[in-house]
């Protein structure tokens, strides 16, 4: 593992994304449009918008970074650049951390723009600060990237990679407490959601909604998100083999 090669990879991945203006615009604009839509759906029920809008500030980066990372990594595998990189002094962790860090940076910008629009223009209110929201969103984005890096190992084509979205992401969105409070779900569903990482992001954001200062529960949830991200990244590293049949 080399800090220099990781840094070069971060710069390389960011340069690639910056060259792809359309993807960049979609990443930055679409969450804002969807949040605006939501604001008008819950017109007159700002309490619901406060709750759902805040959670979406974490869920959007998770979903976008999952998609972007899994397709980018798949391209790396298919184009032969992965095989080439693994024959150079670059370590697979340089590559994985390079992707994780680059997409986390983009996710922070994405969450920053979405938060600014949601708090300043759409009138979202929470007890906790935007900074805390951004921190949680960044951690969730890294979680999304790690998930994408791992699932891309099980896809042979971009079609397949995209199919992991309904399989891996949607169940987490359904069970994380976004559309129905987890406390009111059956114990079995609660147990399932407890082993799914997105529920902890949603939990942390719930705390931000209710309490002005970061709480112990929030820190615990954030730590769980980070731990999941690390474990998934390690699993993704295990799927990168220098030697193949």
Partner 1 sequence: MDSSTTVAIEVDDLVVDRGGKRVLDSLNFTIAAGSVTGLLGPSGSGKTTLIRAVVGVQKIQSGAVRVLGQSAGSPALRHQVAYVTQSPSVYGDLTIRQNARYFAGIYGASASVADEAVRDVGLGDIATQMVYTLSGGQQARVSLACALVAHPAVLVLDEPTVGLDPVLRRDLWEQFHALADKGTTLLVSSHVMDEADRCDRLLLLREGKLLADESPDALRRDTGVDNLEEAFLQLILHHPDNVSPAKN
> Which parts of this chain interact with partner 1 (CB under 8 A)?
4-5, 8-9, 12, 15-16, 19-20, 79-81, 83-90, 242-245
Nearer to partner 1, 8 or 189 (CB): 8
CB of 239: closest distance to partner 1 in angstroms? 15
CA pair distance 156, 179, nearest whole angstrom: 33
Neighbours of 123 (CB within 10 A): 12
CB of 84: closest distance to partner 1 in angstroms? 4
Residue 8 has which token pair? 């070069």
Give me the residue label for tokens 């070069």. 8
CB of 161: closest distance to partner 1 in angstroms? 17
Residue pair 78/112 in contact (Cβ under 8 Å)? The answer is no
Cα dihedral 107→94→67→182 (10° resolution): -70
Backbone φ and ψ for 219, nearest 5 degrees, come out as: -65, -40
Alpha-carbon separation of residue 36 from 105, 113, 138, 174 (angstroms) = 24, 13, 21, 21
Give me the residue label for tokens 């340089």. 94
CB of 145: closest distance to partner 1 in angstroms? 18
Nearer to partner 1, 86 or 174 (CB): 86
Nearer to partner 1, 45 or 242 (CB): 242
Considering only the C-alpha atoms of the chain, give the largest distance between any 2 of them, rounded to a whole number of Å: 60
CB of 108: closest distance to partner 1 in angstroms? 22
Nearer to partner 1, 89 or 166 (CB): 89
CA pair distance 170, 88, nearest whole angstrom: 37
CB of 100: closest distance to partner 1 in angstroms? 18
Nearer to partner 1, 140 or 152 (CB): 152
Nearer to partner 1, 2 or 194 (CB): 2
């Amino acid at each position: 593992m080399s800090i220099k090669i990781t840094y070069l990879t971060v710069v390389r991945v960011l340069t690639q994304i910056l060259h792809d203006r359309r993807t960049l615009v979609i990443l930055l604009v679409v969450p804002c449009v969807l949040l605006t839509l939501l604001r008008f759906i819950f017109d007159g029920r700002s309490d619901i918008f406060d709750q759902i809008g805040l959670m979406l500030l974490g869920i959007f980066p998770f979903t976008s970074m999952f998609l972007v990372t899994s397709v980018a990594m798949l391209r790396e595998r298919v184009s032969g650049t992965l095989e080439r990189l693994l024959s150079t002094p670059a370590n697979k962790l340089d590559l994985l951390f390079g992707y994780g860090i680059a997409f986390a940076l983009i996710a922070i910008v994405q969450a920053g723009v979405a938060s600014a629009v949601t708090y300043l223009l759409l009138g979202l209110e929470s007890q906790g600060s935007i900074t805390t929201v951004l921190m949680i969103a960044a951690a969730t984005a890294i979680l999304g990237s790690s998930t994408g890096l791992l699932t891309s190992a099980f896809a042979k084509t971009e079609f397949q990679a995209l199919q992991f979205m309904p399989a891996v992401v949607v169940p987490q969105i359904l069970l994380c407490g976004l559309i129905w409070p987890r406390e009111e779900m059956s114990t079995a569903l609660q147990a399932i959601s407890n082993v799914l990482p997105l529920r902890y992001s949603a939990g942390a954001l719930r705390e931000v909604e209710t309490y002005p200062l970061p709480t112990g529960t929030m820190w615990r949830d954030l730590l769980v998100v980070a731990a999941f991200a690390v474990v998934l990244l390690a699993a993704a590293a295990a799927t990168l083999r220098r030697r193949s049949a």
